[in-house]
Every structure is written in C-alpha cells, then in structure tokens.
Structure 1
Amino acid sequence: MSSLGPARIVVIGSTMMDMISYMPRIPDTGETLIGDRFALGFGGKGANQAVMAGRLGADVWMVACLGTDVFGDMTIDNFHTAGIDTTYVTRTSSASSGVAPIWVEAGGDNRIVCVSGANAHLTSSQAIRAVESIPRVDVVVGQFEVPQDVTAAGFRAAKERGALTVLNPAPAAEISADLLSVTDWLMPNEVEFESLAGSAPTDAAIAELARRFGVNVVATLGEAGAAVLDGSGSVVRIAPPTTTAVDTTGAGDAFVGAFSYGLAAGLPPAAAARLGCACATSSVARAGTQSSFPQAAELEAALSWATA
C-alpha cells in the first residue's frame, strides 16, 4: 500500500488467542473484582508483528505451530484474512494453541500471562526450511515466545542468505550466545532493556549494550517513543505523535512490525523507528491487540510522518 520498496519478511514466532478483561483496577490477592467488559482477540508477539508488517504492504510468511483446536482454526483463518502466508505454519495434537489472559485497567496499563502451548513445539528444522525455501527474504523477525534455538536456527539461515535479523527479546530473558551471534537488531522495551543491561536505557547504556552484544539497538520507551543506535555510533531519540492511551496491549508489537517493514523496504533506521512510533501510537488509542492496529488512511499518515 506504500510507495516504498518491496518488502519480504519472515516472522518466526508465536500465536496466542488473547482473552482480554477490562477493569477499573487490577484486583488484589484473593479479591474478586467485577470487570467492565471482555474481548477475545488474536495475538502472540510473532503473529502481531506479522500482521502489522502485512498491513503496511510487506509480503509476510509466518513460521509457527498451532494446536489442532478451534483456536488454531481461528488463527489460520485470521492469517488468511490478513494476507499472511501460512505455508510454514504447522499443527500439533500434543498441546493446545497458545493463549494469553490479559488484564487491562483504566488508563490502558496491562498485565499479561502467556501460556505457550503449541508454540513450544516449533522446531529448528521448520524455521530453517521456511527461510531457505522462500525465493527472497529481506528481514527475519523473532521473539522469545518460541524456543530460542529455533529462532537462532532461522536467523542463521537468514544471515547465510544476506537477510537482516530483528530480535524482540520479549518476554524478558537472558539471550543465548548462539542467538546473539546471528542477530543484527535487538529491540527491547524498557523492562527488557533493564533486564539485559542492568540499568535504564540512557544513551550511554544503549551504546554499551550494543558494544557488548555486537548488535544494533532500538529501545522502545512507551509514551517517550524510542531510542535508536545503529552503525553511526550515536543515539537518536524519537518522540511519538501525541495521543490519549486507551489500551497499550500490542503497541510494542506494532512498533516491531512497522520497524521491520521499514528496514525491509529500505528506510534508514531512524525513519523505520519513526514509522514504528507512529503505528504504536495509533494502536494505543484503541482497545484490543491486532484489532487496534492502524489501517488505510492512518497507515498513509504514519508513513508520511515517518519519512517527512
């Protein structure tokens, strides 16, 4: 849908069925609280990032594992509706499809529990086969909701083909040396950054983390936007457009998907991060996860703002 270059992206990652409860506040231990409303939606960091990149115009292949249950059927249908290629999505009867109970309180803050289910059954051979089989790949994206060795295998195949690799280290966890060695871009949020670096994402801390891990870094900073460090050696901070937050669920995934699309389409890293900020800002203004991602005119506005 954009005037940028063609973008071909492989996402190795998770799918989740989001079960979202909206409430005035989070209940205390042992307390029962009456919520405001409930919604069922499609999620999973990998799936969210794939859908966001696809909305911007990328050709996207999803590499994932689903259960042989109704949530798996619904997820496949949702991918097809979103234009995501499911050739490399497998099914297993050994586990349920992934689910994510989510609590959202007034003001938009959220708490999420991810139950991996079939996501843990994704294999390295599946990731390698996907990356090696697709005619051209620009960017391969991964997260921590599937086994790290699977992502590392897919990233290694991507590097052998000259594709860029983007790792969103979420949920926060130690990164294996094997995975780091084939990662080009590391994209933590503030919590994940502090887990990795032991400090808040100051310019000096971002530069030190990039040096120590041998990667480029984009730190997402919530309402403060993002900070980007690439090969130039300087940190660029990007303030997002203003908005009123309704639900922050999925905003980080909107950023990762949009940033990955920007890189694949040939944008400089700072412009790709501006696109990520614009899409994430649009997302937090509405409730839901994938259902909150920008569409149509909002996407055009985000691209215009990012490349101005």
Structure 2
Amino acid sequence: MAELARLRDRNFLVLGRAGMDLYADPPGTRVEEATRFAAHLGGSSANIAVALVRLGCKAALLTRVSDDAVGRFCLAQLDAYGVDRRHVRVVGGEARNSLAVVETRAENCQSVIYRNGAADFAMTEADVEAVDYAGFSALVTTGTALAAEPSRTACFRAFDLAREAGLPLILDLDYRPYSWPSESFAAQVYARAAALCDVVVGNDVEFGVLAGNPEHGHAVARDIVRQGAQIVVYKMGEKGAVTITPDGEYATGIYLTKALKPTGAGDSFLGAFLAGLAAGLPVRDAVLRGSAAAAMVVARVGCAPAMPTGPKLDEFMAAHPGPIPEGT
C-alpha cells in the first residue's frame, strides 16, 4: 500500500463523472410544478474535485464528456471552479452527458436521472494511459466509474498505473443501482476494487451491497482494513460514522443542520476529509471536517456550488460545539 503522507502534496486526480444538474427553482418546488430550473455542475467526481479545490487543494478530473452543449456546459463549469480539465476528453457520436433533474426538498425529494449512453462510461484504457500519475498525490475514484464498460476496465488500469507511481488509491463506493446489471455483480467488482485501495469510504447501504447482505456491511468494512487498507469510513447517515484503521475503530456523530435536500453530503464529506488528511490532520479530525462539510452542503442549494471554502468550514465548526453523538 502507498504512503498516505503523499496526500500532503495536495494535488488530486479524480476519476469519474461530470454532469449537469437541473434544480427546480425556487427551492421547495416540485419538478412537476416547476416553470424554471437552475443549472449547476453535477456528477459525484466533479463535485469531489470542486470540494477539494475550494478547500485549498488542486484537483484534476479524468473523464469524458459529450461533444454537445451539455458537455460544453460541464467544461465551462470546471473552468469556473478551477478544476484542471486537461484529462477530460470530448467524445462525439451518440454519447451523452449525465443529466439530473432534482428538487431542493428535505423530504420526498425527487431526483430523475438520465444516463443512457453516458459519455463518462465511454472512457478507455487509452484515456487513463495518457496521464502522468507521478505528478499527483493521490487517485480518487467513485464506484460509478466501475459500473459499465469500457470505463470499468479503464478504471482498473488507472489503479495499476497510479500504484506503479506510488499514489494512494481512494475509493468512494458511490453505489447507484440503476447503473449496474445486478447487485451481486456490483459486489464482485467493488470487492476487487476495495482490495486494491488505501482508503475506502461508503455508507451502510453500500457496504451492505459489498457484503452481499445488509447486516454484514460493518464486518466487511473491517475485513477491508485487515486486507491492507489504511482507512475505511463506514457512514451511517444520521447515526454518524465509524472509522476503521489498523489501530482500531471509533465512532463519530453528525453536526446538526437544517437540511434543504439530501444530495451532495457524500461528495462534500470525501472532499473535506481528504483535504483534512492533506493538511496533516489526525484521521479523526479529518472525519469531523468531512461531517461538518456534509452538514453545510445539505443546507444549501446545489452540490458543486454548495461546497464550502476553508474559511467557511472553519467558521461553521467554530459556531457548533461538536458533532452530535449517535443515539441523542
């Protein structure tokens, strides 16, 4: 496994999707009642890259976008947020960027996803082989990139190349059932990927999928550390998270907030968690920064535009006494 100290170079390569999110406007409006929408950058990997940049790191995205107006929107948004897009390839033909039509609602929030022929799933081994991995401090991948070919093969090839360059491998499980042929197949692929990674982050449902049984997710998270991972974060929504390392495990709670929507929490958590590790914070403190960032993002409109800056995250944490322990 790679040395996590390399994260302190603060220069991340993030592999996976960028897309367009259309939010029914104003906040609280149902999609079926909406007459206008606000457009924002979306896609879990793009959101993570934005989170990292806003917290003082560098981030480059490795993916494909469609050669059309939506793809160009994504490219323009990446530029606006300061995400390096030199490794984003534009693909023509029938490939289309991911599009999500979403509501800003805390309860009964609808999210309608259009991902047939997704451009990012067309990423190939040639795309990942064109990258100079030695120039980065870590490779971050979301599970969405593993859901279809040729992206899946390209992703594992990127793992090999990053490992050869000494980069830590970081995986956000990011399970989206509609992207996979079956849950059992997803479990097989996730198991193969997790066994290669230094840091694995996911929620209880995702680890349950990896285990093949929702009741065994926590046990599988522990097994991943026994197999060689250095950090596994097992998130449980409102119940907080359990962080597992070779030295043991501990639970942390959540920061209370008035949520506007359920989306974006996982991406903001991972970005702030990694930025914390890159700043040299102890693992527990980095987890708490991730939890605070997640609380901030669910209380704001959008995902990418909701990602906090470092000063805003510090201000939020200073104004809150600490995370609420599980069961309170």
Partner of 1:113: 113
Task: Indicate conservation of the 8 Å contact 1:108/1:248, yes or no.
Answer: no
Distance 1:219 1:37 in 2: 38
Structure 1 residues 51 and 201, CA gap change in structure 2 (3 angstroms): farther
Task: Indicate conservation of the 8 Å contact 1:104/1:111, yes or no.
Answer: no
Structure 1 residues 187 and 86, CA gap change in structure 2 (3 angstroms): same
Task: Indicate conservation of the 8 Å contact 1:16/1:98, yes or no.
Answer: yes
Match of 2:187 among 144, 168, 174: 174
Match of 2:16 among 6, 13, 22: 13
The 5 Å alignment of 1:87-236 reads: 87-94=86-93, 95-107=95-107, 109-115=109-115, 117-130=118-131, 133-146=132-145, 147-172=151-176, 173-176=186-189, 178-197=192-211, 198-200=213-215, 204=219, 206-208=221-223, 210-211=225-226, 214-215=228-229, 216-232=231-247, 234-236=248-250
Task: Indicate conservation of the 8 Å contact 2:41/2:304, yes or no.
Answer: yes
Alignment of 1:86 with 2:85, yes or no, is: yes
Partner of 1:30: none
Distance 2:277 2:188 in 1: 23
Distance 2:317 2:11 in 1: 18
Q: TM-score, normalised by structure 1?
A: 0.84
- Following superposition, the deviation at residue 35 of structure 1 comes to 4.7
Distance 2:237 2:110 in 1: 13
Distance 2:207 2:29 in 1: 27
Distance 1:210 1:37 in 2: 47
Match of 2:285 among 255, 271, 278: 271
Partner secondary structure for residue 241 of structure 1: coil
Higher alpha-carbon deviation: 297-306 or 11-20: 297-306
Structure 1 residues 281 and 201, CA gap change in structure 2 (3 angstroms): farther
- Following superposition, the deviation at residue 144 of structure 1 comes to 2.5
Task: Indicate conservation of the 8 Å contact 2:104/2:301, yes or no.
Answer: no
Distance 2:164 2:319 in 1: 34
- Percent sequence identity over matched residues? 27
Partner secondary structure for residue 91 of structure 1: strand
- Following superposition, the deviation at residue 292 of structure 1 comes to 1.6
Structure 1 residues 302 and 112, CA gap change in structure 2 (3 angstroms): farther
The 5 Å alignment of 1:31-46 reads: 33-35=32-34, 38-46=37-45
- Following superposition, the deviation at residue 298 of structure 1 comes to 1.3
Structure 1 residues 296 and 24, CA gap change in structure 2 (3 angstroms): closer
Distance 2:51 2:144 in 1: 18
1:102 maps to a residue whose letter is V
What is the Cα-based RMSD across aligned positions, in Å? Answer: 3.0
- Following superposition, the deviation at residue 107 of structure 1 comes to 3.3
Distance 2:307 2:55 in 1: 10
2:113 maps to a residue whose letter is V
Structure 1 residues 101 and 25, CA gap change in structure 2 (3 angstroms): closer
Q: Deviations over 1:243-274 (max 9, x none)?
A: 11111211111111222223333333222211
Q: TM-score, normalised by structure 2?
A: 0.79
Distance 2:71 2:278 in 1: 29
- Following superposition, the deviation at residue 275 of structure 1 comes to 1.5
Partner of 1:298: 312
Task: Indicate conservation of the 8 Å contact 1:11/1:60, yes or no.
Answer: yes
Partner of 2:148: none
Distance 1:92 1:196 in 2: 32
Higher alpha-carbon deviation: 177-186 or 287-296: 177-186
Partner of 1:71: 70
Distance 2:173 2:89 in 1: 23
Higher alpha-carbon deviation: 175-184 or 188-197: 175-184
- Following superposition, the deviation at residue 108 of structure 1 comes to 7.2
Partner secondary structure for residue 52 of structure 1: helix
Structure 1 residues 113 and 141, CA gap change in structure 2 (3 angstroms): same
Higher alpha-carbon deviation: 223-232 or 295-304: 295-304
- Following superposition, the deviation at residue 224 of structure 1 comes to 2.7
